[in-house]
Amino acid sequence: MMNNPLLDSYALPPFSRIRPEHVLPAVTQVLADNRAAIQALSVPGTTPTWDTLVEPLEDLEERLNRVWSPVSHLNAVMNSDALREAYNACLPLLSDYATEVGQNEDLYRAYRQLAEGPEFARLDGAQRRLVDNALRDFRLSGVDLPPAQKARYREIAQELASLASRFQDNLLDATHAWSKHLEDEEQLRGLPESARALARQTAAAQGKSGWVFTLEYPSYLAVMTYADDRRLRQEFYTAYVTRASDQGPHAGTWDNGALMERLLALRHEQAQLLGYRNFAELSLATKMARSCDEVMGFLTDLAERARPHAQRDLQELRTYAREQHGLETLKVWDLNYYSEKLRQHRFQLSEEEIRAYFPVGRVIAGLFELVRRLYGLTIQAREGVDVWHPEVTFYEIRDSAGELRGAFYLDLYARPKKRGGAWMDECLTRRRSRAGVQLPVAYLTCNFAPPAEGQPALLRHEEVLTLFHEFGHGLHHLLTRVDYPGVAGIHGVEWDAVELPSQFMENFCWEPETLALISGHYQTGEPLPKSLLDKMIAARNFQSGMQMVRQLEFALFDFRIHRDYDPALGGRIYPILSEVREQVAVVFPPPFNRFPHSFSHIFAGGYAAGYYSYKWAEVLSSDAYARFEEQGLFNPEVGRAFLTHILETGGSRNAMESFVAFRGREPKIDALLRHNGLAERA
């Protein structure tokens, strides 16, 4: 046991030394140690203080996180059968432990004593908020339930953790199981050289001639956007939208259908155990929105504003495809292809032409320069850090006084055995203890097309937005000045406000001043020409109505399957999705489309009955950004205010207080509508 790297005291995780066989022994050991320590802590009859109750519990949480964070991360970015098995073997143990702590009546009593005792008034605001949140979380863990219901809650929590992991595993396996090997160059017509080069590189890595295209998003999107071969697009679309389902080329092999039904049933049961009518109500216990009606009203209002714009967008696309290309019936696998053609036609703007100006190195250097101008931060790469893959880089972030504030790993490229999508996750959280201040460390993960055949990786503008988005989450985690992990960084922030700093960053990607920083032709270094910049800005809201209603479709579907769940009827996943589409959608996919089977945000991530948060937080982020528009993009006073009131405060006070402290008033929806080209009612 002595040579288990997960049990070592480390400054940064020893990724190269972690093996699947280390995982279960390390987790088992730490859980046993923590249980013994908790038993010694919660002694009835003693008067709890911050130092004798909260800080020791934070020590235990920190020790567990140091074991689990690198394991969980590796499972997402370097998945293997052995690691997956070890990871999944630990989930019930971790779930049991979390429920046990959450239902520990002695600890709950101790926190209540602390909250009601004289010391509470002497705690600072962040400490009081942490104690209040802890009391809420004890109740949400079922601490007040009778023994039989407590036991049932524990069973549900354990099964939910296992189901979510299986959902993600199925999706990963289904995504990587399908590929298309092409040897006839005629089928590649329309595809840009960058997509062909990546496919050649993929084929060569598999010892094949020709080209191999996959369902990893950069490869899939290139086919859907550029391939002239309509049957090829249809084949890719069918494979992609039926992943992990009962339909398509691998029908039934990794079907998530039964898992989704079970997840919904268990969430509903869990909510009712805790006294809520449904899981949507339970989810709002930790959010800004106050009721299900408020969420539905918000989404419905946005849909009513956006749908006429979306209908016009679609009609325009149909007319263009018919009049310019003789296409009588526009199918779903034609949407990306003809949208790109229409954009080129209307704005003389091609995504490939734009990509040439966004080599990844230039984008990152420009992003770092932007945060220097906004907040006085400097970011520098650090060599010699132990990473999980040769493509990963490590950076340190310092403030204007030269003080080290945190660090992050950057893992940019798609590869086999890596989960799709983009995300920020925590490696270490800021924390002050007797040993001093532990600085935060983040994982920033994307899935861009890797460099191919000697060319640098080039980003689509949408991918630039993705990078800025995840970096915004990273800054929220890394720049916190709060010393207590439970409310530091993104911790303790209401879930429907947590996207504020990430979406806020996206706005800069449309500004001429920022674009000058982050762009430069990959061959000549020439800046983005004004003519191209003007076209990009003119095209900013191209099809924004269709994009908006698509997001609202996801949000309403998610909220309704959780709010309207009826045990007698089951999940009604597809009937509810159909109802939502009738209400808001303009595009109606074919019956074999199984989008929910791959909707990991809500079935395997933290967004269950919370996908609306993206739009809710966009109201906050757009309005916050409007202050920069009004007072100057790089106005140091405004930058300092955003840093102080939003990024540094983390979850130490409620999100509305932080917003008002920055903006001087409560949020308005105007900026969101303006940024999306929906300002006037259609």
Catalytic residues: 470
Calpha distance 632→378 (Å, rounded)? 21
Calpha distance 155→38 (Å, rounded)? 22
CB atoms within 10 A of CB 515: 22
CB atoms within 10 A of CB 552: 28
Amino acid at 49: T
Burial label for 301, CB within 10 Å (0-12, 13-18, 19+), is: exposed
- The Cα-based distances of 35 to 41, 57, 139, 385 in angstroms read 10, 11, 20, 33
Q: Are the CB atoms for 57 and 41 separated by under 8 Å?
A: yes
- Nearest-Å Rg of the Cα atoms of the chain is 25
**3-class secondary structure per residue, 287-300:** CCCCCHHHHHHHHH
Q: Are the CB atoms for 552 and 302 separated by under 8 Å?
A: yes
DSSP 8-state secondary structure symbol assigned to residue 170:
H
Calpha distance 575→441 (Å, rounded)? 43
Helix 193-205 with 217-226: angle, nearest 10 deg: 140
Q: Residues 498, 503, 507, CA angle at the centre, nearest 5°?
A: 155
- The Cα-based distances of 213 to 200, 245, 335, 417, 454 in angstroms read 9, 21, 20, 16, 19
Calpha distance 220→236 (Å, rounded)? 7
- The Cα-based distances of 581 to 236, 542, 576, 665 in angstroms read 23, 21, 9, 35
DSSP H helical ranges for 1-104: 20-41, 55-77, 81-102
Calpha distance 397→265 (Å, rounded)? 44
Question: Which H or E element spans position 398?
Answer: strand 393-398
Count of residues making up the chain? 682
Structure-token pair, residue 31: 């859980």
Structure-token pair, residue 392: 């990963």
Question: Which H or E element spans position 240?
Answer: helix 230-241
Strand partners, 180: 213
